[in-house]
């Protein structure tokens, strides 16, 4: 082991020398420029690019190497951007829905052309493997395709009226400005789900990505902005203000943000939900799950060590992994822990590190109950060929999650279905099925085309 450490030292020194410069200036990373990125990048877009707030350096989470810098938005720039975005809504809302769909189709095509290079940036900046980075961009492309079709299908029913000569219509209108706050671990797909559906519904978007993945936010916005500008549309239809909790809080408190779509931890989501509720605003929450099979990330190494220790203290046995890897960068071993009680505090907590707890159960009822007793309710799965069990799992006494799978893992969802979870996961639904309704407001319209004025329920004032 000592020998190994000594061997690694020169490599570490080489690596820290390389880290003194930005990766974007190294020949191996020149592909970043294909995304329009440079050493210093403006972190505000509202039809024009700007930003004069804090300058943040984005680091590769695998080895802490600096990639490039982004200048975030000040609160004054946030204010200006909201005004421009709302102004842009006035014309966007008048564009017929299928024509809005055509713009979304072009966004999908523009993303297709950059799918590999954008997927590489996701991998570099967020830390997930390349194929998953590309998969995220593919999700955005898929949801664009879905939204194009939807742009010719959204609408409400005409309902039978109890009054003669009357018609009841359900009319759906855009909510206006959709604020989108996203988490570090899905820096493209979550924005994509919200953006594509919001746009065909006739909304404008203002995006604040996670402060650790600002280059991805800038690169995606450049692709979308080019499509808008080529079509001579106001760029502020898809605005962006990079920043942290200050910009996020401003969005949560802002009455002009008609719907706030928030993806992140349950802890922050609760604060955001209360700020939005305080103003009786609309919110769409996609909060913490309890699915630990994810990639290691910067400070997550410490969370990982703490979680393994806690699991041992609470009676668990590490049967696989359990250690930080003896190599440069932030790498930990994928870990399996057995022997814990189903209600051990560590099992019930989202640690967001690659630890899998394996629990032994005796009966189906017990397993279903353990699945449902945690606070989170995002995703769940069983492996079985027993047909009766499959339908019990899907039924009223089965899994209480938003995603209920059979014979596939809990991760990875198709865009055609509604995505989201219950309980502390927030209850929101994004992406496919009828999720578009969350981005619109419904009016029940009664139209009298008779000469009389009858009241409902047969009431007569006589």
Ligand X SMILES: NC(=O)c1ccc[n+]([C@@H]2O[C@H](COP(=O)([O-])OP(=O)(O)OC[C@H]3O[C@@H](n4cnc5c(N)ncnc54)[C@H](O)[C@@H]3O)[C@@H](O)[C@H]2O)c1
By CB under 6 A, name the binding residues for ligand X.
181-186, 208, 210-211, 244-245, 248-249, 252, 263-265, 268, 271-272, 286-289, 350, 352, 378, 421, 425
Q: Least separation, in Å, of the C-beta of 100 and ligand X? A: 25
CB of 276 to ligand X, least distance (A): 10
Structure tokens at 330: 């932030």
Q: Which helix (H) or strand (E) holds 459?
A: none
Residue closer to ligand X, measured from CB, 151 or 182: 182
CB closer to ligand X, 15 vs 381: 381
What's the min distance (Å) between Cβ of 430 and ligand X? Answer: 8
- State in angstroms the smallest separation of the CB of 185 from ligand X: 5
Closer to ligand X by CB, 253 or 437: give it.
Answer: 253
In this chain, which residue has its C-beta nearest to ligand X?
248
Query: Within 314-459, where are the H helices?
Result: 345-348, 364-373, 387-394
Q: Which is nearer to ligand X, 176 or 243 (CB)?
A: 243
Can you tell me the distance from the alpha carbon of 226 to that of 228, in angstroms, rounded to the nearest whole number? Answer: 5
Q: Which helix (H) or strand (E) holds 79?
A: helix 75-92
**Long-range pairs for 12-17: beta carbons < 8 A, 24 or more residues apart:** 12/328, 15/63, 15/65, 15/328
Cα Rg, the chain, nearest whole Å: 25
CB-facing half-sphere around the CA of 206: CA atoms within 13 A: 34
The nearest distance, CB 26 to ligand X, in angstroms, is 27
Provide the minimum distance between the beta carbon of 118 and ligand X in the complex, in angstroms, as a whole number: 18
Nearer to ligand X, 29 or 186 (CB): 186
Nearest distance in Å: CB 431, ligand X: 10
- Residue 148's CB is within 10 A of a number of other CB atoms, namely 21
Asked if residues 174 and 93 have their Cβ atoms less than 8 Å apart, the reply is yes
Q: Could you give the CA distance from residue 246 to residue 347 in angstroms, rounded to a whole number?
A: 32
Q: Please name the helix (run of DSSP H) or strand (run of DSSP E) that holds residue 207, with its range, or none.
A: strand 204-208
Closest separation in Å from C-beta 325 to ligand X: 22
Q: Are 201 and 229 in contact (CB under 8 A)?
A: no
- Burial label for 322, CB within 10 Å (0-12, 13-18, 19+), is buried
216, 221, 222, 227 alpha-carbon torsion, rounded to 10° = 140
| Residue nearer to ligand X on the CB measure, 182 or 330 | 182
Residue nearer to ligand X on the CB measure, 41 or 182:
182
For ligand X, give the closer residue by CB, 106 or 435: 435
| Nearest-approach distance from CB 279 to ligand X, in angstroms | 14
Contact 425, 266 (CB under 8 A): yes
- Please, which residue, 46 or 379, has the CB nearer to ligand X? 379
């Amino acid at each position: 082991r000592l020998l190994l450490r000594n061997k690694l030292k020169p490599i570490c020194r080489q690596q820290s020398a390389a880290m003194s410069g930005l990766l974007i200036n190294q020949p191996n990373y020149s592909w970043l420029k294909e995304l329009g990125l440079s050493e210093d990048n403006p972190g505000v877009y509202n039809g024009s690019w700007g930003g004069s707030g804090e300058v943040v350096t984005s680091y590769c989470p695998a080895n802490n190497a600096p990639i490039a810098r982004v200048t975030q938005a000040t609160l004054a720039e946030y204010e200006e951007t909201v005004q421009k975005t709302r102004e842009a809504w006035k014309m966007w809302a008048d564009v017929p829905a299928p024509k809005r769909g055509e713009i979304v189709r072009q966004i999908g095509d523009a993303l297709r052309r950059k799918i590999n290079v954008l997927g590489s940036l996701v991998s570099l900046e967020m830390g997930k493997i390349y194929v998953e980075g590309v998969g995220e961009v593919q999700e955005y492309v898929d949801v664009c395709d879905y939204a194009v079709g939807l742009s010719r299908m959204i609408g409400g029913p005409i309902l039978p009226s109890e009054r003669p000569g009357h018609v009841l219509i359900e009319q759906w209108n855009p909510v206006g400005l959709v604020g989108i706050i996203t988490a570090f671990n899905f820096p493209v797909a979550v924005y994509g789900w919200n953006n594509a559906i919001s746009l065909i519904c006739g909304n404008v978007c203002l995006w604040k990505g996670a402060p650790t993945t600002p280059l991805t936010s800038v690169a995606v916005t450049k692709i979308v902005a080019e499509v808008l500008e080529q079509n001579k549309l106001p760029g502020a239809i898809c605005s962006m203000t990079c920043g942290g909790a200050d910009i996020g809080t401003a969005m949560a408190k802002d009455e002009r943000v008609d719907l706030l779509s928030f993806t992140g931890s349950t802890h922050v989501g609760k604060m955001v939900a209360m700020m939005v509720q305080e103003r009786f605003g609309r919110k769409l929450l996609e909060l913490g799950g309890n699915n630990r099979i994810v990639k290691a990330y910067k400070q997550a190494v410490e969370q990982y060590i703490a979680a393994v220790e806690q699991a041992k203290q609470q009676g668990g046995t590490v049967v696989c992994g359990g250690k930080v890897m003896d190599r440069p960068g932030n790498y930990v071993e994928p870990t399996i822990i057995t022997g814990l009680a189903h209600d051990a505090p560590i099992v019930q907590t989202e640690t967001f590190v690659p630890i899998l707890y394996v629990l032994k159960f005796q009966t189906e009822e017990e397993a279903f109950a353990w699945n449902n007793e945690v606070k989170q309710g995002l995703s769940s799965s069983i492996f079985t060929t027993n047909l009766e069990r499959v339908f019990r799992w899907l039924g009223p006494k089965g899994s209480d999650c938003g995603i209920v799978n059979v014979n596939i893992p809990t991760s990875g969802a198709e865009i055609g279905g509604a995505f989201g979870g219950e309980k502390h996961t927030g209850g929101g639904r994004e992406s496919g099925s009828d999720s578009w309704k969350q981005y619109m407001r419904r009016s029940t319209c009664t139209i009298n085309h008779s000469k009389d004025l009858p009241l409902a329920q047969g009431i007569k004032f006589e």
